Structures are given as structure tokens and as C-alpha cells.
């Protein structure tokens, strides 16, 4: 453990803070976190946190979700400008317009969205819960926002429902091409291809497994296979190499790096704890509306 990591641990106890880190954070941050997980696991941890402060090492929408689910806590985001390109693609007004076009449809919102957009939705979902939630909704028609690729994946798994999509996407996952899958397979013929449902459907179709980051990690852990081509952010490849050294993981494309997720450094986490920055503060109306959508998601697991 480095001296900065030791300082963070000491300060965390002194300030009664809980540190949560997403799988896409750098390994030195993951090492000092109390919990490392995907956005759903982090939301659940935040909801039941006993500490007075939650430091969310991830991007803004994750810290917003922590605040919405546990409003009495101080929630801090170490990198103030760590946003999400997908979340920024959709506005509350666009959600209202879609609802007006399809008044009998439920609005299902991927958690990679702002609090204001969640507040206009009926229920949230994560990539690990989206299929289950879509199946269990009483409505036969679903407006899926904002990720068109996760939406297409859910629609393929839930053919009994009718879906309407918003054309949002994650630039990191959406940029991967079927050609890159073929090239990676050629370079590593014994490897299985595991991709995130934020990848395009034609990439998903060429994969051996499609799942959330947590599901990909579970798959690698439990598979008798030794080699894997990973079609999600580089942090998952680094985590496999660190925690499962007996397995070989190759990144599907060198471009799969989310710069927003890498904005916070270990020094930023120390600064954040020391000075109590950057605190998440949301308007009451947004908090209330978004809480309904998020709490419904958490209760449906
Ligand atoms: S990987 Fe994509 S969806 Fe995830 S935080 Fe980065 S930009 Fe947003």
C-alpha cells in the first residue's frame, strides 16, 4: 500500500466515510475502496450506508444516485467534472416528448442518466437488471432511454413487449465494430468473447456472452476456459488480471477507455476526503421524482 493510500484509509476512519468505487476506476482507487462494484451494487451499498459520508469514486450520475437513495448522507465526488457522455445525451424535455407520443408506455430509464431524467421516468434499471425489470412491468409497451444498444438487447430478450428507443449511446462501447471482434478472435482463437450490452447489437451477435460488468466478471470466474476477449471498459481487464491471474484477458479494442471514469486520481480521493469536496446537492423536486424510479428498481431485485 502506498503512503497516499494509507492516508486515505486513516482519514476515512476519522471522518466516518464509506468509499465506493466502480469497476472502471483505476486499480489504486479500487484497492482502498470499501466496496467495488457495478452501478447497481454501488447504489445498493449507498442506500444502506451507515457512515455519515459516502465518497463515490465513479461518475456524477452514480454519486447522484447515492444521494437520492440516502439523502441524509453527505455524498462526495472526487472529480467534479466526471460526467457521462451517454447521460448528457438526453434531457427531461425529450423524455416528456416521448411520453406524450406513447402515453400508454412505461418509461424505463437506464441508471446512466441525470437525476432530472430519472425524475421523469417510471422505473430505473441497470444493465444487470434491465431484462428482468422489462419482463415484470405490467405495461406491454416500453420507452427505453437513453441507451439504444442496451435497449435493443433488452428487446431481443423480451420479444413479448413493444419497445420505443431513444438514440443515445456510450461512445466507448458504441464505437466497437464487428470487424474488431473478428480481428480479436483471429489473434486469440481460444478466447471467448464477452461483451457489454452497451455495444452495438451486431457486436453482441458475434459474442459468446453478453452481460453487465459484474456478469462478465462472474462468467470469467466460473468458466473452465482460460482466455477471454473483453468488450467493455479497460478497468474490467485490469481487474481480471489482478484478481484472477490464472486467466488471460484481452481488451477487445484499445479505444475502450472511459476518460470520465479516469478523471479521479488517488490524489483526488485524498483531497476530496480532506476538504469535503465535491458535495452532491440536488433540487428537492428532482430528488423526490428520481427516488421513486430508483427505489422501484432496487425493490425489484
Ligand atoms: S463507459 Fe460510457 S456509459 Fe459508462 S460512464 Fe463512461 S461514457 Fe458513461
Q: pLDDT (tens digit, 0 to 9) for every residue of the chain, 301 residues total?
A: 899 999 999 999 999 999 999 999 999 999 999 999 998 899 999 999 999 999 999 999 999 999 999 999 999 999 999 999 999 999 999 999 999 999 999 999 999 999 999 999 999 999 999 999 999 999 999 999 999 999 999 999 999 999 999 999 999 999 999 999 999 999 999 999 999 999 999 999 999 999 999 999 999 999 999 999 999 999 999 999 999 999 999 999 999 999 999 999 999 999 999 999 999 999 999 999 999 999 999 888 6
Reduced to 3 states (helix: H, G, I; strand: E, B; else coil), residue 165 is strand
Cβ–ligand 1 distance for 86 under 6 Å, the answer yes
**3-82+261-281 against 176-251: fold identical:** yes
What's the fold here for domain 3-82+261-281? Rossmann fold (3.40.50)
| pTM attached to this predicted model | 0.96
Which pLDDT score is estimated for 101? Answer: 98
CA dist., res. 29 & res. 237, Å (int): 15
Does the Cβ of 83 fall within 6 Å of ligand 1?
Answer: no
Distance 68 CA to ligand 1 centre (A): 20
Residue 100's pLDDT is 98
Per-residue model confidence (pLDDT) at position 299: 86
Q: Where are the beta strands (DSSP E) in the chain?
A: 17-22, 35-37, 53-57, 74-76, 106-110, 123-125, 141-145, 162-165, 192-195, 209-210, 227-231, 248-251
Instruction: Decide: 243 and 61 in contact? Cβ < 8 Å.
Output: no
Residue 200: per-residue pLDDT: 98
What residue spans define the domains of the chain? 3-82+261-281, 87-170+289-299, 176-251
291 in Cβ contact with 66 (< 8 Å): no
Q: Which atom of ligand 1 is nearest to the CA of 147?
A: 3
Q: Would you say the CB of residue 85 lies under 6 angstroms from ligand 1?
A: yes
CA pair distance 208, 26, nearest whole angstrom? 27
Count other C-beta atoms under 10 Å from residue 243's C-beta: 13
pLDDT score for 37: 94
87-170+289-299 is classed CATH 3.40.50.300: no
Which atom of ligand 1 is found nearest the CA of 24? 1
pLDDT of residue 298: 87
Q: What is the CATH number of domain 176-251?
A: 3.40.50.10800
Q: What b/e sequence results for 180-205 when a residue is b if at least 16 CB atoms lie within 10 Å of its CB, and e otherwise?
A: bbeebbeebeebbbbbbbbbbeebbe
Amino acid at each position: 500500500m502506498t503512503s497516499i493510500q494509507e492516508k486515505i484509509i486513516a482519514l476515512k476512519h476519522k471522518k466516518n466515510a464509506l468509499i465506493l468505487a466502480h469497476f472502471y476506476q483505476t486499480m489504486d482507487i479500487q484497492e482502498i475502496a470499501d466496496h467495488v462494484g457495478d452501478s447497481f451494487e454501488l447504489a445498493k451499498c449507498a442506500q444502506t450506508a451507515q457512515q455519515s459520508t459516502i465518497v463515490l469514486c465513479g461518475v456524477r450520475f452514480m454519486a447522484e444516485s447515492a444521494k437520492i437513495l440516502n439523502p441524509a448522507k453527505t455524498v462526495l465526488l472526487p472529480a467534479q467534472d466526471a460526467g457521462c457522455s451517454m447521460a448528457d445525451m438526453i434531457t427531461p424535455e425529450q423524455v416528456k416528448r416521448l411520453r406524450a407520443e406513447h402515453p400508454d408506455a412505461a418509461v424505463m430509464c437506464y441508471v446512466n442518466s441525470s437525476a432530472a431524467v430519472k425524475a421523469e421516468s417510471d422505473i430505473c434499471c441497470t444493465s444487470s437488471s434491465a431484462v428482468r425489470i422489462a419482463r415484470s412491468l405490467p405495461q406491454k409497451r416500453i420507452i427505453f432511454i437513453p441507451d439504444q444498444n442496451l435497449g435493443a438487447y433488452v428487446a431481443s430478450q423480451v420479444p413479448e413487449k413493444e419497445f420505443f428507443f431513444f438514440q443515445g449511446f456510450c461512445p466507448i462501447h458504441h464505437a466497437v465494430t464487428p470487424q474488431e471482434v473478428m480481428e480479436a478472435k483471429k489473434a486469440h482463437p481460444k478466447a471467448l468473447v464477452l461483451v457489454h450490452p452497451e455495444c452495438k447489437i451486431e457486436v453482441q451477435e458475434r459474442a459468446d456472452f453478453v452481460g453487465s460488468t459484474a456478469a462478465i466478471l462472474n462468467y470469467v470466474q466460473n468458466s473452465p476456459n482460460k482466455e477471454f476477449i473483453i468488450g467493455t471498459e479497460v478497468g474490467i481487464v485490469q481487474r481480471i488480471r489482478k484478481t484472477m491471474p490464472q486467466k488471460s484477458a484481452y481488451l477487445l479494442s484499445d479505444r475502450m477507455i472511459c476518460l470520465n471514469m479516469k478523471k479521479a486520481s488517488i490524489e483526488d480521493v485524498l483531497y476530496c476526503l480532506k476538504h469535503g469536496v465535491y458535495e452532491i446537492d440536488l433540487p428537492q423536486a428532482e430528488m423526490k421524482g428520481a427516488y421513486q424510479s430508483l427505489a422501484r428498481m432496487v425493490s425489484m431485485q
